[in-house]
Chain A
Amino acid sequence: MSPALPRDIVMRPFKSSISLVQSRIIISRTFQRILGELAMGRFISYTGGSPTQNDIYDQMLERLCRAYVYFVGLPFILNHQGQFISKSSVLRPFFEHWKMARDFFTRREAEHWKQVQNTDFRPWIQYVTARVGYDKSLYDEFNPQESLRQAERYKCSRLLKMGIDEDTRADALAGLMEKYLKPTAEPDMFFSVQAESVPLFSVFIGLDLAILFSNIYTMEIYRKGIGKKLDRTRIPAWMQYQSARLSTPDGVTRKAYFDAQGKVKFTLPVVTDIIRKATIDTYGLKTYIDLTKIGMEQYSLEPWSRESSDPPAMEWLLIDSWSYESHEPPEMEQVLTDYWGTDVPEMTLVLIEYWGTPPPAVSRVLYEDWSV
């Protein structure tokens, strides 16, 4: 055992206090580091578009966020930011999850800790922390005014005090919010807190809440974005990879296949600016397209020329229905005689996207330049 050096004896009081602070920050940083890595993986899987991977990341992120809440101390968070949480449409559902813990353990206690299936707290860490929270009565009713007053004791001076930014644009933003966005929720309290349960070492509550809330907000936005993405690509299974045929009254026919997202591409000669109507047929399910509403751009290489129609190209056209009913053939307004002649310009691409939730289905048609 090595003797204590004079230097160590001098440093000991200071070292012990600063190392306590450092250890506390290191724990926060560790949580943030894991959350940050998961968030980056979530971002990549979101842009990559793998639903299974998205779900896995979602579950991991949520579990870790809940574990972090238990570490910081649920009552302390609610004491400190309870009003804010209760008004937030994102944070409120996340924190209301802890009502489940109270209900679950109350039910178990009534059943003498038997015969109640645990479906809500699957990971052992969630179960243990929820149990600790229940044993310490973290879920009883409380008085918000009193708890906020008590929480003042634990604030970390002005170092990380939560306050309003002195940005001059705050008024403009508030006005914009008031004008266009709806209020989120009614400002009532929903949680219970006992001030004695607040851990004393939560002096870095501002730091913890910054880490925690940023991840909760981001997680929620990913979920909403994924929901929007799924709505956009939801097509009937039979429609995927099914062949479709485009035909015009003057005999132009093209065959193509729907892809997994319900898109199908047809290549047409640019002289279709004279062809007014086309039929798309996929095993008897038909729809008619008015090509005059789509618009196109006509390119010619020698000499170089470029003409845009009205409406301009790249304009989406909604097709509101597919049907098995027999329609009269579209009128042929102009008969083409020799459109495969030497003056045929570059090709144009028609893109048809099956759109929306069936039924009724909605499709979109797009003309794009194929030659570039």
Chain B
Amino acid sequence: MAVAPLFVLSIGWDIVEDVRGTTAMLMFIMEEACQTAMMGEWIAVKEELNSEAMNLNIWIRTYLSGQLFNLADSNWSLAAYPLNNAYALFAQSINKTLDIYTEVIRKRLTGG
């Protein structure tokens, strides 16, 4: 009866694969949304659309990068280890970029 352990292992591996793939895909979609919005943010900063840039800046920070970091930093995302670490770092880097954009707009508005 050497087949039984393989049978259990096979079922277990399928479950792990499905859960892992689903969790990773959730984070991947959030990451793609971040990138789309950051393209708009870059255009807004470049074209000096200050109001739009700040609105989008705060929205990305609140709903996209913040949520992605919360998800990647939670216990749920351990199912996708080590991808969760990569997505957490991505969210942090997005926040850093948004900080720089905020500083650019602040200087532009305050004149230094």
Residues of A within 8 A of B (CB): 6-7, 10-11, 14-15, 18-19, 21-22, 25, 28-29, 32, 35-36, 39-40, 43, 46, 88-90, 159-160, 162-167, 169-170, 173-174, 176-177, 180-182, 184, 206-207, 209-211, 213-215, 217-222, 224-225, 228-229
A145 to B44, CA, bound (A): 35
Check A218–B40 contact: CB distance below 8 A.
yes
A224 to B40, CA, bound (A): 11
Q: Knowing A46-B43, A159-B71, A221-B44 touch, does A214 contact B76 (C-beta < 8 A)?
A: no
Residues in A neighbouring B41, C-beta threshold 8 A: 221
Selected from B47, B58, B63, the residue in CB contact (under 8 A) with A173 is B58
B49-77 interface bits toward A, Cβ cutoff 8 Å, 1 = contact, 0 = none: 11111111111111111110111000010
A15 to B43, CA, bound (A): 44
Selected from A21, A159, A167, the residue in CB contact (under 8 A) with B66 is A167
Q: How far is the CB of A145 from chain B (nearest CB, A)?
A: 23
Q: How far is the CB of B11 from chain A (nearest CB, A)?
A: 6
A181 to B108, CA, bound (A): 13
Check A228–B99 contact: CB distance below 8 A.
no
Q: Knowing A225-B43, A228-B47 touch, does A25 contact B29 (C-beta < 8 A)?
A: yes
Q: Which residues 13-69 of B have a CB within 8 angstroms of A? A: 14-15, 18-19, 21-22, 25-26, 28-30, 32-37, 39-41, 43-44, 46-67, 69
Check A10–B11 contact: CB distance below 8 A.
yes
Selected from B22, B36, B48, B51, the residue in CB contact (under 8 A) with A39 is B36
Check B59–A18 contact: CB distance below 8 A.
no
A166 to B14, CA, bound (A): 36
A25 to B19, CA, bound (A): 12
Residue of B nearest to A46 (CB): B43
Check B67–A160 contact: CB distance below 8 A.
yes
Q: Knowing A169-B99, A218-B37 touch, does A32 contact B32 (C-beta < 8 A)?
A: yes
Residues in B neighbouring A177, C-beta threshold 8 A: 54-55, 58
Residue of B nearest to A229 (CB): B47
Q: Knowing A10-B11, A18-B18, A221-B40 touch, does A210 contact B56 (C-beta < 8 A)?
A: no
Q: Knowing A32-B29, A225-B47 touch, does A176 contact B102 (C-beta < 8 A)?
A: yes
Interface contacts beyond A43-B43, A173-B102, A211-B33: sample of 7 additional A-B pairs, CB < 8 Å, sorted by A: A25-B22, A90-B55, A164-B66, A167-B61, A170-B61, A218-B37, A224-B52
Residues in A neighbouring B35, C-beta threshold 8 A: 36
Residue of A nearest to B46 (CB): A225
Residue of B nearest to A25 (CB): B25
Q: Knowing A7-B11, A207-B29, A210-B29 touch, does A36 contact B36 (C-beta < 8 A)?
A: yes
Residues in A neighbouring B51, C-beta threshold 8 A: 181-182
Check A14–B15 contact: CB distance below 8 A.
yes
Residues in A neighbouring B26, C-beta threshold 8 A: 25, 159-160, 207
Residues in A neighbouring B62, C-beta threshold 8 A: 164-165, 170
Is B85 positioned at the interface, with any CB of A under 8 Å from its CB?
no
A364 to B11, CA, bound (A): 73
Residue of A nearest to B110 (CB): A180
Residues in A neighbouring B37, C-beta threshold 8 A: 214, 217-218
Is B93 positioned at the interface, with any CB of A under 8 Å from its CB?
no
Is B10 positioned at the interface, with any CB of A under 8 Å from its CB?
yes
Q: How far is the CB of B94 from chain A (nearest CB, A)?
A: 11
Is B2 positioned at the interface, with any CB of A under 8 Å from its CB?
no
A211 to B59, CA, bound (A): 13
A254 to B104, CA, bound (A): 41
Q: How far is the CB of A150 from chain B (nearest CB, A)?
A: 22
Residues in B neighbouring A10, C-beta threshold 8 A: 11
Residues in B neighbouring A211, C-beta threshold 8 A: 29, 32-33, 36
